[in-house]
Structure 1
Amino acid sequence: MPPKARAAGKAKGPTKRALAEAFPAGEVLTDTGKKSWKLGAPIGQGGFGMLYLANEDNAKPVMADAPYVIKVEPSDNGPLFSELKFYMRAAKPDLIQNWVKTNKLKYLGVPKYWGSGLHEKGGKRYRFMVMDRFGLDLQKIFEERGKVFPRKLVIQLGLRLIDVLEYIHEHEYVHADIKASNLLLAQKNPNQVYLVDYGLAYRYCPEGKPKEYKEDPKRCHDGTIEFTSIDAHKGVSPSRRGDLEILGYCMLQWLCGRLPWEDNLQDPIYVRDSKIKCRENIKEFISKCFSSDNTPGEMLKFMEEVKSLGYTDKPNYQKFRAILQEGLKSIGATDDDKLDFSVVSGSRKFSKQKTTKRKKVEEKGESSNEPDTGPVKKKAATKKNEVNGMEKNAPKKQLVEKATQTSPAPAAIKRRTRGRPKKNA
């Protein structure tokens, strides 16, 4: 039985949406640019949509090494429509390529948008989006490695994500749901990592005008409970400082195994108050995560810098990079662009124990401007037999497990979050 709804508003159940129907391999979809795409085998299924291997339409069938995936859901549903707004504004290939060139980056971990449109079949309309194909998500690797990552790796992931956040922030968006399950390795290059799932992406600065700080009890605790920002716990719209705070929590968990508040994730008030207390004394917070002889100084400085940010402040991204680079130097390492996931020993302070199940509710669709204040559902912190948050439903021979072959795609259709902030058109 789910916990009682928050006192701030009357309980309201999650919006019911139509389930996706499977399309046969070979089905051809035409996007708004009149480009045709051929569907291959389905590789994932969520509550409202399907994920397929795909290729540009040609005379040959879509093979297992297809470079694209297409996400399809009934047109009346909201999740994919919401995500499309971000991709169409900020993830077009030329925008990303120009940014990479201007900022002299080797790559940018933002998935590219290749097309979208509507498709009719059997008297029904479906919305679809074409994206790059990716490999394994970091949550799966994190669990396989005993829920601890090497310090060098964590710092490198932080550096790559600062690049991503600076890009999406400069394009008027914040992500609001950074976590290991939303970080995917490139299909052909396991040294590249991409931040996916922009279902909660929020346009914090439409037309260059930042949103004002305003607490809304109806929107409290949006995001993934263990990582979401203090602002989100208070019902405040996502912000740039919130993204960096979430990144800080993720990095700390990857380093030490568990965050101090993971013993009671079913109580969002407890989690919120724990985070506030930790922000008040960051040094003590860090000491709770690590043994005294194994404290990463860069994380103390990182969280202190996050604390110094105002709600509408533009972060000094270069300062955050410098903090992490200093951390690499302190362990005699350099950013060699190689992501080494080797297991390390003796780095976790917490005992390995089952994490309390997260509190989540299914997100509201884009058709409504009212936040979802429905009852909270219980869901396991991690799910087995999934491809990027969706159940594997294709034959085993069509679903590849290796990092160089697995085919999760950006933007999980089945949400792992507790509600959705209001979007801006």
Structure 2
Amino acid sequence: MVMDLLGPSLEDQFNKCGRRFSLKTVLMIADQMLERVELMHSRHLIHRDIKPANFVTDGGRGSGNFIFCIDFGLSKRYRHPRTLQHIPQREGRSLTGTPRYASINNHLGVEQSRRDDLESIGYVLVYFLKGGLPWQGLKAKSATKKYKLIMEKKQSITIPTLCQGCPSQFAEYLAYCRSLKFEAKPNIAYLRGMFRDLFRSQGYTNSNSSLDWDWNRIDSASGGNQTSSSSGPPQGTDPHGYGGGMGQHQGAPMDQQDYGGKRN
């Protein structure tokens, strides 16, 4: 088996940058994360563990501009690849993924679908822009009680309060994600367009230079060897941004009961 050697995760880069990204970098991250997840959804899969550690940079073989989505251990088919029949909405499911970025419905035990990946991306973007989320650092006597506190905080805090200090597009993004019905196909073109319009309104330009990204500017200032280059993926990697390619994940497991079968 041949696997791509990729670079630091976005969590690693976030730490390198003092746990705060510039608005420009967050908007460029948003565009690539949404593109990766849209492709995954087109392959009938949901990720179910969107978090900074599961998105990595190209490892210095390219420009440092390309972000890959990794770790499909919790991914699952949300619809049948031939009939396109969507899995049914069920309740009483276990929390799946990382609680910090989990959707409210995931906390509530509702079966995940495309909307949940999108909501998790929203929390990641606010985390990057503000340096943290209000439900971090909560103390409890057990993991179960802590997850309940996180859920209650997410439910109680309003979207405008969560996104205070961020451009209004971030609140609009989260409101849109939370409004989606279980089987709805998210309009990712609309979401990417909203963030791209904000990018342009700020006077930002994407020069396809590694120095467009906060972490590469830090490397350059400290004597690193990052150089300007194309913003495409490094040669030899999956051009869609999936570490190791998507082919190995097309057999992702699905519960027997997901398409009307009996529960084991």
The TM-score, its normalising length taken from structure 1, stands at: 0.48
Q: Does 1:250 align with 2:121?
A: no
> Does the 8 Å CA contact 1:173/1:204 hold for their aligned counterparts?
yes
CA distance in 1, matches of 2:114, 2:189: 14
Unaligned runs of 5+ in 2: 218-224, 228-241, 245-251, 257-264
- State the AA in 1 paired with 2:113: S
> Does residue 168 of structure 1 match 2:40?
yes
| Selected match of 1:203 from 59, 77, 100 | 77
Structure 1 residue aligned with 2:182: 311
Work out the CA distance in 1 between the residues paired with 2:215 and 2:172.
26
The change in CA–CA distance for 1:422 and 1:264 in structure 2 (over 3 A counts) is farther
Deviations 1:385-424 (A, max 9, x none): xxxxxxxxxxxxxxxxx999xxxx959xxxxxxxxx9734
Separation of aligned partners in 2, 1:270 and 1:205: 32
Distance across 1 between alignment mates of 2:127 and 2:208: 22
**Alignment partner of 2:153: what SS?**
helix
Q: 2:214 aligns with which of 331, 334, 341?
A: 341
| Alignment counterpart, residue 8 of structure 2, candidates 129, 133, 136 | 136
Q: Matches of residues 24-423 of structure 1 in structure 2 within 5 Å?
A: 129-187=1-59, 188-189=61-62, 190-207=64-81, 208-217=84-93, 219=94, 221-264=95-138, 266=143, 267-278=146-157, 281-287=158-164, 290=165, 295-338=166-209, 339-342=212-215, 410=243, 423=254
Per the alignment, in what secondary structure is the counterpart of residue 152 of structure 1?
helix
How many residue pairs get aligned? The number is 218
The residue matched to 1:333 in structure 2 has which SS?
coil
Shift, 1:342, TM fit: 5.0
Could you say what secondary structure the match of 2:7 adopts?
strand
* AA partner of residue 153 (structure 2): S
Summarize deviations over 1:132-153 as a string: whole Å, max 9, x none. Answer: 2211212111112111111111
Q: Which structure is higher in strand share?
A: 1
CA shift at 1:329, angstroms?
A: 2.2
Q: Is 2:216–2:226's contact at 8 Å kept on the other side of the alignment?
A: no
Structure label with greater radius of gyration: 1
The answer to whether the 8 Å contact 2:16/2:215 transfers is no
Ranges of 4+ aligned residues in structure 1 off by more than 6 Å: none
Pairwise CA RMSD: 2.7
Structure 1 pair 334–403 and aligned structure 2 pair: CA distance change class (3 A): closer
Deviations 1:309-360 (A, max 9, x none): 111100111110111012212321134444411599xxxxxxxxxxxxxxxx
Change (3 A) 1:228 1:336: farther
The aligned amino acid for 1:132 is D
Hey, what's the Cα distance between the residues in 1 that align with 2:44 and 2:37? 11
- CA distance in structure 2 between the partners assigned to 1:255 and 1:299 by the alignment: 10
Query: What SS does structure 1 have at the residue aligned with 2:56?
Result: strand
In structure 1, list runs of 5 or more residues that go unmatched: 1-128, 345-401, 412-420
Greater helix percent: which structure?
2
Provide the C-alpha distance between the structure 2 equivalents of 1:343 and 1:286, rounded to a whole number of angstroms. 27
Contact 1:328-1:335 at 8 Å conserved across structures: no
- Preserved contact between residue 169 and residue 195 of structure 2 (Cα < 8 Å): yes
Aligned to 2:248: none
